[in-house]
Structure 1
Amino acid sequence: MEAVPASPQPIPFGKAHARRLREIYRSAGWPMQDPLEIELLAAGLLSRERARSGHESLRVTDAGVQLIANALKANRRAFDAHEALVERVAQEMSRAGRVAWRNLSLRAQVPSDEADSPLRWCMARPDVFSIRNTSVATYVDPIVHEVKVRRADLLSDLKNEAKRAAYLDLGECWYVLGCDARGRCIAEADEVPAECGVMVLENGRLAVVRQAPRRARNGLPFGVWMALAKATPLPVAEDDPQQML
């Protein structure tokens, strides 16, 4: 009896596939002839076209355009969810009496691989940066909050030790974890390095799962003070007067 050939396994399309489709869609469509392109051709998301000159180019099919649109929609939802949670954290810091900023670019020092220079400067851009509302420089208690709403983004971020080192150079580092489509937290607290605190979104509320370790600080570097002076902090949050009734 002749064996029935096994059905081909579906190709798991990801961000790289959608990115390549977008690149081809807005370009002349020159082929790269790599595995990614082969998968897109096999799935009917790309088609090959030959010009009269004999040169071959690629065209995104209608199915490919639909995949691009679906990817853009998913990215937009994730961006909206991320921005909403960032705003929520910033407002919570403001309500706690802290001065909060969003998306600041701050200089930080991280370990260097060079023997003659153990530290190097880099730019850090935390989702939320806040300090105490105090006139005593040594009491500012700087805190960085990094918000994640996608598990893949979190795992990729946790592999970036230099980025985390930059956050820790600026202040306490906290990871704020959102929920997936089923309402489950995107990660367990023990997946986040012990030098960072963990907050999660539970039933619409931010809950502390693990405190960030306290570290002695003498204040903020002059460069950070200058960046804060040039930026506009979040307006002071005011409680809803209806909650008082």
Structure 2
Amino acid sequence: MAIALTTLVDEAQRYLNAATISDYCPNGLQVEGQPQVRRIVSGVTASQALVDAAVAAEADVLLVHHGYFWKGENPCITGMKQRRLKTLLAHDISLLAYHLPLDLHPEVGNNVQLARQLGITVEGPLEPGNPRTVGLVGSLDTALSPREFAERVAQALGREPLLVEGEGLIRRVGWCTGGGQGYIDQAIAAGVDLYLSGEASEQTFHSARENGISFIAAGHHATERYGVQALGDYLARRFAIEHLFIDCPNPI
């Protein structure tokens, strides 16, 4: 079965409420391919490796979290950017990308999906009363030591996280996938025992240590694999088309 590309894009836009979210890149259809869609390939970043994998999988649409055309980047279509776009256009593959809308969504969002992977019950946003806050706060059913929770993260994500071990057991957790380490101050204000993000900055260590909480950096790529999979699954069910998630390993 095939559906119109415009129908797929319209539904993704509606479901993610993408038009209402200010972002650092255009959300939605970034590269237009063939007008009919039978198969979606999803992945975290529209790298050349993922584009090539989409070609091999005979995808009609490549659905990603990290697409192209970021604010402040060189707009010239040269080098790496030219090769990626040339491959998509040569094979008539559309590129559909959602950044912050896929972080924020209450069902398929990266942060909600990561909570499900880690057994965290979502309580609300890191900033109370601000539903546009990307990060979330939640609780564990059973208190764990920082090392026990780090082991849970390692098992769920398939990689060893960076742990800054703080004081006491972990009952309340704050988190923001990807490059969300800057939200540690909001997490501290929310009274969490541990804050988790994808990346870490030099000052993150000091913030955690001096405020007596634990911190985990679990990997930008690793923490953002689940939202795009969930969105791809939703669209596949909605329109009875095929969806294949392809994970191109990234240690960062």
Greater RCO structure (CA 8 Å; 6+ sep): 2
Both structures adopt the same fold (TM-score exceeding 0.5): no
Smaller-chain TM-score bracket: under 0.3
Q: Which has the larger radius of gyration?
A: 1
